[in-house]
Chains A and B, each alone.
Chain A
Amino acid sequence: MKTDDLISMMANEVAPVDRGLPRRRMIQALLLGGAASLALLLMLYGLRPDLMQIARTPLFWVKLAFPATLAAGALLVLHRLLHPGLDVGLRWAGVAAPSLAIWIGSALVLALAPAAERIPLLMGSTWRSCPFNIALLSLPLLCSITWAVKAMAPTRLRLCGGVAGLLAGSSATLVYCLHCPEMGVPFWGLWYFLGILIPAAIGLLLGPRLLRW
């Protein structure tokens, strides 16, 4: 087929383009993946029994704020990576700031705590399973977000896969907070973060293969 024929083919009966699609697809992906992740949480781990009492304490909301702001930052960066030719620039701060904040908070809490309490604050009682639970809960989100990304046109596939994984991981952490009994800030800064890094690494590794178009 000659290039002119290809052009005629593409231009014939061209329908007005759906400008709302990118936003709609991402919202659908987050809702579907989030619901699947929540269902997984209820089946495998259950809600923490004292959820209603703990939800009245400010510390619980601080705990939610970390994955929530990280997810928002990752979404901001991902949005730029899905449109060819848009740079990310200072929006990387959306990912860096929540991470830095939780680490500074962790360092402060550890510095102010008596020496004997430092290790329990950092390791809690569930450090062995926590990152893997988060990674497991992130799988449905990773699939649904990949589906939304594939409807777009990423040109930096590895980076895009990594940020998609970051979004999946931080959203899954938000869900996992409904179960997780840990209330030590250093625990979140270390083990939640590691849990989020697992899907991010999966995205980074598989991005070039899965997202190619």
Chain B
Amino acid sequence: MLATNSLVFSMSASPHQPADDLPAMRKAAPAAHAQSHPSEERLRALLLAGLDGDAVAYRTFLAELSGRLRAFLRKRLHHLQDEVEDIVQETLLAVHNARHTYRPEQPLTAWVHAIARYKLMDFLRSRSRREAFNDPLDEAQELFAASDEEPAQARRDIGVLLEQLPDKQRLPIVHVKLEGLSVAQTAQLTGLSESAVKVGIHRGLKALAARIRESL
């Protein structure tokens, strides 16, 4: 049903930066991958640098991936364009939380596609389960629902879900991830130990993914 290679290869809305800007590109792809698509090679190099702790490369990877995911999902969710941005965000968070499962010898396309497909199927499954209880009048209302040409807004606000996390997960995420403080500063500010801050971020992002799932 879903073509594997259309995901990373397909051109997306996100602008392409010149490859020379990226230190990650110096970690050139091994010869075995020489035949794969250049954009896959680029993304793969960015991800691998990100996995080694290069935040700039990792941010670029996520940004480019989000464009590709958006194009991929828009094509497949004809009737559900409003939900596309939600699933893009959910899939990005899933990619982030599962980044330790990527194996360098594996094609990046296959890995990302498996995650995106899993999240899309999970969404469609819980949606159809929910629809079964829905009022049939909903269909009539859909007739008048406006169609939107603008870049869609996410309907579910992850910021609101973040507020619901317990302090020891929420505060490390807010200080380190959103305000850009260091782990040490956050530890001082919150009274948590540095390892508690790191664990809090890790568990917090997983908990956030779980909240998204429940809010489906």
Q: Which residues of A contact B (CB under 8 A)?
A: 1-19, 21-22, 82-86, 152-153, 155, 212-213
Chain B residues within 8 Å of A18, by CB: 100
Question: Is B141 an interface residue when CB atoms closer than 8 A count as contact?
Answer: no
CB distance from B119 to the nearest CB of A (A): 9
| A10 B96 Cβ-Cβ under 8 A | yes
Whole-angstrom distance from the CB of B40 to the nearest CB of chain A?
13
Closest to B53 in A: A16
Asked whether A10 and B177 contact (CB < 8 A) given A1-B159, A83-B101, A212-B213, the answer is yes
Interface residues of B (CB under 8 A from A): 50-56, 58-59, 62-63, 66, 85, 88-89, 92-94, 96-103, 106-107, 109-115, 117-118, 122, 153-154, 157-159, 162, 173, 176-178, 180, 182-183, 198, 201, 205, 209-210, 213
Decide if A11 touches B62 in the complex (CB within 8 Å): yes
- CB of A152 within 8 A of CB of B59, answer no
10 example contacts (A-B, Cβ-Cβ < 8 A) are as follows: A9-B178, A10-B205, A11-B50, A11-B56, A13-B183, A19-B100, A84-B101, A84-B115, A155-B115, A213-B98
A1-B154, A12-B176, A212-B122 as given contacts; A7 in contact with B92, CB under 8 Å = yes
In the complex, the 3 A-B pairs of residues with the closest C-beta atoms, listed nearest first = A85-B110, A84-B114, A11-B59
Prevailing SS type, chain B contact patch: helix
A153 to B92 Cα, complex, angstroms: 14
Q: Report which of A9, A22, A83 forms a contact with B173, defined as CB distance below 8 A.
A: A9
Is A17 in contact with B111, judged by CB distance below 8 angstroms? no
Nearest CB in chain A to that of B52: its residue? A16
Q: By the criterion CB–CB under 8 Å, are A85 and B111 in contact? A: yes
- Assuming A10-B205, A15-B53, what are 14 further A-B pairs, CB within 8 angstroms? A7-B63, A8-B59, A9-B173, A10-B58, A10-B96, A11-B55, A13-B176, A16-B53, A19-B100, A22-B101, A85-B110, A153-B115, A212-B213, A213-B213
Bound CA–CA A2/B100 (angstroms): 25
Closest partner residue, chain B, to A10 (CB atom): B96
How close is A150's CB to chain B, nearest CB, in angstroms? 10
Among the listed A6, A13, A22, A152, which residue makes an inter-chain contact with B158, where contact means beta carbons less than 8 Å apart? A6
**Contacting pair A14 B53 (CB below 8 A):** yes
B162 contacts which chain A residues (CB < 8 A)? 1
Give the CA-CA distance A16 to B55 in the complex, in Å: 9
Q: Are B103 and A86 in contact (CB under 8 A)?
A: yes
Decide: A3 and B115 in contact? CB cutoff 8 A: no
Residue from A4, A83, A152 whose CB has the most chain B CB atoms within 10 Å: A83
Report the bound CA distance from A65 to B102 in whole Å.
33
Whether B106 lies near A2 (C-beta < 8 A) is no
Contacts of A152 in B (CB 8 A): 98, 101
Q: Are B101's CB and A153's CB within 8 A?
A: yes
